Structure 1
């Protein structure tokens, strides 16, 4: 795999083909994700993969949350769009922080360290999927229904993101990025 090429060609995919990604490929991608750098080697991540009927049930839970939030005039972000992408994807990988809800002395610095570690694992998922010619969408709209999903899963860990994964059915153009001189300062 040419890492630079994977980084340059990776896109957020919102439309997927109706084609199943084999379990073995998703397992390999997740195995690679666990090799991501992890602050203090805490490895705070946990992944739950939903496919088929389970994924459909999760989308229904998300739809119920969407309708309830709208009814209460609460923000829903782009949850509806994210639900559509999850619905089309072959699978959705739910990503959890295993420490934030259980450690008694969990503090801001541990949160930052664990968040960076989990972000590195998610980025590894995205790049590994790219190598398998798969498309992905990193989803944070899951926050609008995280309690409902965790309750459904009977999971006490903190849901921090979801990644829709499947065979892409679109080729989005590169999104604009800030110029380097705007985000880098040499001293």
Structure 2
């Protein structure tokens, strides 16, 4: 499937077949997430992969949504709260790989911005969250390219999920991505017009 078709085909699916997803496709989805870009290459995403039916049944307790954990694959997207501390190390890796060839940067300003982010808990968390969301999008679109349906879900009790899955407090929970063979083919969802979303052009 070409990329434009993937974008046009993607829908939020809420009814799934119980068929398991082949291991090679699950690995391809996770690999797509691993290869996502991130600011400073910090790669803060960490995944909890849930395929076991008994575990998914327990997870249903954590959400008011009847379809939560119904798909044969649920990827819980988390972020490592400690990842940003590795930014100097990740930055050095980028430099060593010539990522900044012919690029100049004001080292003083870079360090000042880095220190500001490192000392601001809200900024630090939001930075990790939106980078993790990029990773989830990569997995989402890869699943669609493999003929699967997906649904991002945020409406669940994160602490209940943390308790059920035994996730350490070091890892913040961003969302769950449900993946499976779709049992529905919903129409294209309403979208705002280009005039509504583009504020200005220069």
The aligned residue for residue 71 of structure 1 is none
1:159-185 CA deviation, whole Å, 9 max, x = no partner? Answer: 110011100000011111111111102
Counterpart check, 1:12 vs 2:24: no
The aligned residue for residue 80 of structure 1 is 64
Partners in 1 of 2:177 and 2:134 — Cα distance? 13
Partners in 2 of 1:35 and 1:102 — Cα distance? 18
| TM-score computed with the length of structure 1 as normaliser | 0.81
Partners in 2 of 1:7 and 1:119 — Cα distance? 17
Equivalent positions of 1:26-175 (< 5 A) are 26-51=26-51, 52-60=53-61, 62=62, 79-81=63-65, 83-87=66-70, 89-99=71-81, 105=119, 107-142=121-156, 145-155=157-167, 156=169, 157-175=171-189
1:133-157 CA deviation, whole Å, 9 max, x = no partner? Answer: 0000000112xx1011112222121
CA gap 1:158/1:102 in 2 versus in 1, 3 angstroms: farther
Structure 1 runs not aligned, ≥5 long: 63-78
The more displaced of 97-106 and 12-21 is 97-106
The aligned residue for residue 69 of structure 1 is none
Structure 2 runs not aligned, ≥5 long: 86-117
CA gap 1:44/1:102 in 2 versus in 1, 3 angstroms: closer
CA gap 1:58/1:110 in 2 versus in 1, 3 angstroms: same
The aligned residue for residue 75 of structure 1 is none
| TM-score computed with the length of structure 2 as normaliser | 0.75
The aligned residue for residue 201 of structure 2 is 186
Q: For residue 9 of structure 1, report the CA deviation from its aligned partner.
A: 1.1
- Rg larger in structure: 2
Q: For residue 115 of structure 1, report the CA deviation from its aligned partner.
A: 2.0
What is the root-mean-square deviation in Å for CA atoms of aligned residues? 2.0
CA gap 1:85/1:168 in 2 versus in 1, 3 angstroms: farther
CA gap 1:118/1:86 in 2 versus in 1, 3 angstroms: same
What secondary structure does 2:64 align onto? helix
Partners in 1 of 2:120 and 2:19 — Cα distance? 41
Tell me, yes or no, if the aligned pair for 2:59 and 2:69 is still in contact at 8 Å. Answer: no
